[in-house]
Structure 1
C-alpha cells in the first residue's frame, strides 16, 4: 500500500528548487574580507581616499577645474569654501557636538557661498526662479528630514533638520515647506537673494538653441553635502542643492530623497551624493552603498566604487559620492570629470581636492 502524500511536500519541494536556482547568484563569502572584484576594472580600482576622517564635504560633481585654466584666485576661492565648511563642522565636533549638528553646520557654510549650487548660488529653473532641495539623516535611529522645492529658505539644510526633529514626517515640499520653515524660526528671504550673475549666464547658455547638449550638461555642477563621525561613533549625512540649470519648475532630484542622495546608519556608513539626480534616484545610490557594506560584506571604498563607477553609468548617469564608515575610512569616487571635496581628520588636518589629479589613486 503506497503512503499518501503529505500536504506540505509539494510546496516544500518547490521552495527548495527556487532556492537552488537563486543561491549561486548570492554573494557568499568563504572567509576574510570581501573581494572588490565586481567593482574592479570599471573605470579604475576602488581605493580609500583617507583614514581617521571625522568630517568630509563635497561641492558637487561635474566639469572639473583644470589647472591650466584656473587662476590662483579662483583656486583659492574654491579651496577656502570647502575648508571653511570643514572648519565649521570641525568646531562642532571638537566641542562635543554630534554628527548631525556637524553636517548641518558644514552644509550651511556651503549654502551661503555663491560658488556652489545650493542656497545663495542656486541655479535657475526654466522659468528663471529658484527651487531648492535638501535632506539630513541621523545614523543612530535612521531619522531623516527633507525639504523640496522651497523658494524662500536661505539654508534648506536647517529646514530639513527641523522637519526631522519637529514633525512626524520625513519630507515637506513647496509653499508648505517654506511656511513651516518660517513658523519654525528661519527668517525667509526673497528670490533675488539667490540671484548670481554666474547662474544667470548659465541659464541663458542653456536656453540658447545653439548650445550643444554636452555643453549644457557640462555646466551642471555644485550640489553640496557633508558626512560626519562624532566622538560617540554616530554617523550623519546631509545634502543640499539648487537642482539643475533650466530644470522644469517642480522638478525634484535625488538630494532630498533619503536612500538616493543621502543616507546614514551607525556602525555602517554615511553617504552624500552629487550628480545626475534622476539616475541616483533610480539606482537608490546611497542606500545601495550602505546595503553593500552591511549585507554584502564590502568595505566602504569597494561599495561606493561599485555603485558610482559600476551601476549608475549603466543607467545613463555620472556623478560621485563622499562616503564615511564607522572607523573613519573615507572614499570619494566619481565617474564625472571632476568632484570638489575635502575632509578633516581626527588630528585636525584639513585637506581639499579641487583638481582631478589630486585624488588619491585618481578615480
Structure 2
C-alpha cells in the first residue's frame, strides 16, 4: 500500500464470522476516521484510533477484553513517538477505561516508560482518567469465548509533518495467568516507532517478546538496508515462524508505504491514504 497516512489493526487470528464482518469493518472504519481527525499530530492520531477500538466490544482491548484464568481482566497498552523515540506503557491494569490514554500519560508526564498493576491504575486515577469497575470490561460475547485466543488492536500514523507514531492495546491472552504481560506493553516487541518506521504487532505474545518483533522490523530497515515490506515479511514469516509463533503486524514507513504481513487465517485491519481512500481487510 502506498501513500498511507494511517493504518489500524484489530488483531490477528481467525477470520471474522460472516454475520459480524460488517460490524468489524465498521469498527475499523470508525477507528480510522477518529485517527484522521487528529492527524495534525501522529501521536494524537494513533491514540484516537486505538481509543475507538478500545471502546468497541468486538475487539480484544478495553471494553471487549478477554478473560484471565480467574475470570477477571488485565489490560496492556503502549505508545511511541518516532521523532524522539519517547514511549509510554501500562501493563496489567484493571480499572482504567482506556489503557492507551494511560500509556500516553506515562510517556508525557513521568520519567518512566512502563507502569504496571495497581501502581498504573492509581496513576491513571490521579491523572484524572476515567476509571471503571471490573464488570465494565465483561461482555457476554467474550465470556462465551473464554477458551478462544483473540488478538490485539493497534495503529500506526504519519502526520502532516512526516513524523511517525505507533500504539498498541490489548486485553491479553484468553485464560492467561493473572499477572501475565505480553508483547503489547513492551516497547520493541509489540510497539516501536522511530524516524524510519512505525510498527504495531499482534499475535503470540510470548514469541513476539522473544523475537522483539516490532523493533526487529526497524533494525532490519536501518542496519540491513531492507525496505519496510521486506523487513516486515522477514520478521513475520521467517524469524517469528522459526520461534513457533504466528500473528501479524502493520508497519508504516516515512514515505507512506504500508506493510501488513500476517501468518494467521485473518487479521482485521484497514488503512487511510492521503487522498481519503479507505481500504479494509479481514
TM over 0.5: yes
2:64 aligned with 1:135, yes or no? no
Structure showing the higher strand proportion among its residues: 2
Residue-by-residue CA offset, 1:122-171 (whole Å, 9 max, x unaligned): 00000010000000000010000000000001110000000000000000
Of the three residues 136, 154, 158, the one matched with 1:225 is 154
Residue-by-residue CA offset, 1:298-339 (whole Å, 9 max, x unaligned): 000000000000110111110000000000000100011110
> What is residue 218 of structure 2 aligned with on the other side?
290
Question: What's the TM-score, normalizing by structure 2?
Answer: 0.99
2:35 aligned with 1:89, yes or no? yes
Of the three residues 169, 172, 195, the one matched with 1:243 is 172
Question: What's the TM-score, normalizing by structure 1?
Answer: 0.77
Q: How does 1:259-274 map to 2 (within 5 A)?
A: 259-266=188-195, 268-274=196-202
Residue-by-residue CA offset, 1:244-288 (whole Å, 9 max, x unaligned): 11000000000010000000001x100000000000000011100
Which range moves more in the overlay, 219-228 or 101-110? 219-228
Taking only aligned residues, the RMSD between alpha carbons, in angstroms, comes to 0.7
| Alpha-carbon shift at residue 202 of structure 1 (Å) | 1.6
Of the three residues 53, 66, 70, the one matched with 2:18 is 70
| Alpha-carbon shift at residue 221 of structure 1 (Å) | 2.0
| Alpha-carbon shift at residue 222 of structure 1 (Å) | 3.0
> What is residue 34 of structure 1 aligned with on the other side?
none
2:206 aligned with 1:278, yes or no? yes
Distance 1:223 1:90 in 2: 21
> What is residue 240 of structure 2 aligned with on the other side?
312
> What is residue 56 of structure 2 aligned with on the other side?
113
Q: Alignment partner of 1:202: what SS? A: coil
> What is residue 120 of structure 2 aligned with on the other side?
177
Query: Runs in 1 of length 4+ with deviation above 4 angstroms?
Result: none
Q: Alignment partner of 1:255: what SS? A: helix
Q: Alignment partner of 1:135: what SS? A: strand
Count of aligned pairs: 282
> What is residue 230 of structure 2 aligned with on the other side?
302
Q: Alignment partner of 1:123: what SS? A: coil
- The answer to whether the Cα contact below 8 Å between 2:236 and 2:263 also exists between their aligned partners in 1 is yes
> What is residue 255 of structure 1 aligned with on the other side?
184
Distance 1:86 1:115 in 2: 16
Q: Alignment partner of 1:322: what SS? A: strand
| Alpha-carbon shift at residue 220 of structure 1 (Å) | 1.7
Of the three residues 127, 130, 133, the one matched with 1:190 is 133
Tell me, which stretches of 5 or more residues in structure 1 are unaligned? 1-49, 207-218, 355-363
Distance 2:130 2:12 in 1: 30
